[in-house]
Structure 1
Amino acid sequence: MLPDSIRNLHRPYERIAEIIQLSGGSFIYKSLWFFSPNILNTVDPANIHYIMSSNFSNFPNRVLFSRIFDILGDGIFNADSHEWKSQRKLAHSLLNHQQFQRFLVKSSWNKVERGLIPVLEHVAKQGSVVDLQDVFQRFTFDITSVLVTGFDPGCLSIEFPRVEFSEAMDDAEEAIFYRHIWPELFLKLQRWLGFGREKKLKEARRTLDRMVAEYISRKREELSKRTITVEDEDGVDLLTSYMSHPEILGLKTDDKFLRDTIVNFFLAGRDTTSSALTWFFWLVSQNPQVESRIREELKAFIPAEERENRRLFSTQELSNLVYLHGALCETLRLYPPVPFQHKEWTASIWGPDCLEFKPERWISESGKIKHEPSYKFLAFNAGPRTCLGKGVAFTQMKAVAAAIIHNYQVRVVEGHPVTPSSSIILHMKHGLKARLSRKWV
C-alpha cells in the first residue's frame, strides 16, 4: 500500500474513497514494514456501531493513537479508561453549565457583530477578493480562545495579522497527517536528524507550549485579583472553571493538565467549525437553489418592516432554522472536518443520490430536523466519545451562516481550484477565494 499512498499524496481522500468503493466498504491496509501494524479500514455502519458503541471498551486509543497525536499530551482525545471518563465527565459538566452557556451565547454574538461583520463590510466596500477559509479560521480561533481561556487575541480584523498559534496548529496537523502514511523508521530518522515535517512539528509544539503557558500565567494572575462566583452574569470561560476550584473537580489540574486540556479544546474548536463553514459556503455557491431556500427561511423569522435591513439573528431564531440546519448537516456528511472518519458518501448507506448536496434529506415529513444515528453520520464521532461540543459548533455555524447569507451576496472567484489539503483536518488546499457585496445599503 505504501507505493500507492505515495502516488496519491496529492489526493489522499479521493484515493481512500475509491478503494472503499472497490472493496465493498472494508479493506485492510497491509504494511510493508515489520514494525508497522496492519490497519482495518471500514465504512460499514454495523462495524462502526460495534467498534465505537456496543464494544467500545475493547477498542481504546492506546499506544498507536497517542504516539501519532503526542502533541495533544494526556488530554481528552488521547486519554483512556478511568482518566478519560473523569476528563469527559468534567468537560461535559462545564460545557453544559449555565455559566458557560451564558458566556457562549454572549461571546459568539459579540464576535459576529464586532469581529466578523466589520471585516466583511470592509471587504465588500473595497470590492476585493477575500479568502473565506482564512476569515473563518480567524473567527473560530478568536472565539475558541475567548471560550477556552477568556482572552481575545483579535486575529479577526481588517489588518489580517499573522497568527502564530494558528500557523503552529496547521504545521502540526500536516505533520500528523503524514505520520499516517510514512513508516515509523522514516519518521524516527526525521526526528533524529531534524528535518522534514517532524522538524516542523517539533517547532510547532514549542510554539504551542510557550503560548499556552502564557495563557495559564495570565489567567493565574487574573484570578489572584478577583473572585469567581456562580452568579457571574457574563458567565465564565473554561480555563477559569478549571483553575478556580481544582479541589472540587477531582483532577490534578497542574500546568501539564491545563496545557493538554487547552490544546485539545483548541484543536476541536478552531479547526472543525472553520472547515465546515468553508465547505458549506462553497457548496451553497454551487447550489443557488439551496441559497434561495435558506434566504426564504431567514425572512420568515424577520418582521416585514425589517426584511430589507441588515441584522443578526438571536439564539432562539437560530434554533428554529430547520433548512439551514439540514444544509450544515449535509455539508458535514459530504465533507466531514475530520476526514479519517469519512464514510458518509457511500450509496449503500445514503442511497443513489449520495453525492448530491440535498439538505432535504435531513428534514422529516413533518418539517422537523431528522436525526440520523451517529454510526451512520460520524461527523461528531459516535458512541461514548461523541463530540461534547456539537451544540457549540452548531450555534457558531448557524450564527455565521445566517449573518452572511442574509446580509451579503457571496460569489466564489470563477476558476478558483477547490481541493482538500493534506492534513488531519479537511481544509481547502488553496483556501476559498470569494467576493462579497452588501445586500442592504
Structure 2
Amino acid sequence: MNITEDITTVTDFEALMSEDMLEKMHYLHAAIAEIIRLYPALPLDPKVYFSDDVDLPDGCTVKKGDVIAYLPYAMGRMKYIWGEDALDYKPERWLDNNGCFRSESPFKFTAFQAGPRTCLGREFAYRQTKIFSAILLGCFTFKLSDENKVPRYRTTINIQLDGPLDIYVFPRSGLHHSP
C-alpha cells in the first residue's frame, strides 16, 4: 500500500500524525532548532538583578538594579560558538552520526534559557512546531511571489519580518481541499 495514495485531504494527512511519527522527525526537529539558532524570537535578552550577586561565569559581581543583557541573535552567529559555518543554515549540525536529533547545551543555544530559568514550554513548542510544519510542508508547496526580493528583518523586543512576505501556496499533487 502506498501511503501517499491514501492522502487526498489535509485531514487525511493530519489523521496519520502520531506521537511515534513526531518522535521520528529528527531532521525536521533539527531544521527548527537551526531556524531558532539563526532567528531567535528574542534577539536581545536583558536581565535585571533584584539583589547583589556573584552571578557571571567570570566571577563578576553584579549589584541590585544592574541590567545584564546577552544577545541570542549574535550568539547564534558566532564562529567561536558554532564553528566556521556559523552563518550557514545547516540542520545537520543538530544530528548525531545516526541521524538522530541531539540538543546542544542551553548555555550554547540560549533560545529557551538555561539553568533554573529554562523554558518549561520548550518541548511543547517543538512538538507544536513539528505538527504545524509537517502538515504545511506535507500538504502544500510554497513559492515566493518575487524570488529576487530578499526578506528583511526588523529587530524590536522580538524579531519580525520588515513588511509582508508575499508567497504563493499550492496544494501538493493529488491533494484537494476538505469541504
- TM-score, normalising length from structure 1? 0.30
Change in CA separation of 1:398 and 1:424 when aligned onto 2, cut-off 3 Å = same
Structure 1 residue 417: Cα displacement: 4.4
Residue 3 of structure 2, aligned match among 303, 306, 324: 306
Residue 167 of structure 2, aligned match among 434, 438, 441: 434
* Cα distance in structure 2, aligned partners of 1:319 and 1:412: 30
Residue 41 of structure 2, aligned match among 312, 334, 337: 337
Residue 358 of structure 1, aligned match among 79, 86, 90: 90
Instruction: Considering fraction of residues, name the structure with more helix.
Output: 1
User: SS of the residue aligned with 2:161?
Assistant: coil
Across the two proteins, how many residue pairs are aligned to each other?
A: 138
* Cα distance in structure 1, aligned partners of 2:143 and 2:100: 30
Change in CA separation of 1:422 and 1:362 when aligned onto 2, cut-off 3 Å = closer
User: SS of the residue aligned with 2:169?
Assistant: strand
- TM-score, normalising length from structure 2? 0.72
User: SS of the residue aligned with 1:307?
Assistant: helix
Give the corresponding residue for 1:410.
142
Matched ranges for 1:22-33 at <5 A: none
Matched ranges for 1:11-410 at <5 A: 304-308=1-5, 309=7, 310=9, 311-312=13-14, 313-340=17-44, 341-342=71-72, 343-410=75-142
Which residues of structure 2 form unaligned runs of 5+? 45-70
The aligned amino acid for 2:29 is H
Structure 1 residue 305: Cα displacement: 2.5
The Cα RMSD (Å) is 1.5
Structure 1 residue 431: Cα displacement: 3.2
* Cα distance in structure 2, aligned partners of 1:330 and 1:416: 22
* Cα distance in structure 2, aligned partners of 1:359 and 1:417: 21
* Cα distance in structure 2, aligned partners of 1:430 and 1:438: 25
* Cα distance in structure 2, aligned partners of 1:376 and 1:411: 33
* Cα distance in structure 1, aligned partners of 2:129 and 2:149: 24
The aligned amino acid for 1:428 is L
Instruction: Considering fraction of residues, name the structure with more strand.
Output: 2
Q: Percent identity?
A: 31
* More RCO (CA 8 Å, sep 6+): 2
Which residues of structure 1 form unaligned runs of 5+? 1-303
**Segments ≥4 residues shifted beyond 4 Å:** none
Structure 1 residue 419: Cα displacement: 1.5
Give the corresponding residue for 2:62.
none
Query: Per-residue CA shift, 1:12-66, capped at 9, x if unaligned?
Result: xxxxxxxxxxxxxxxxxxxxxxxxxxxxxxxxxxxxxxxxxxxxxxxxxxxxxxx
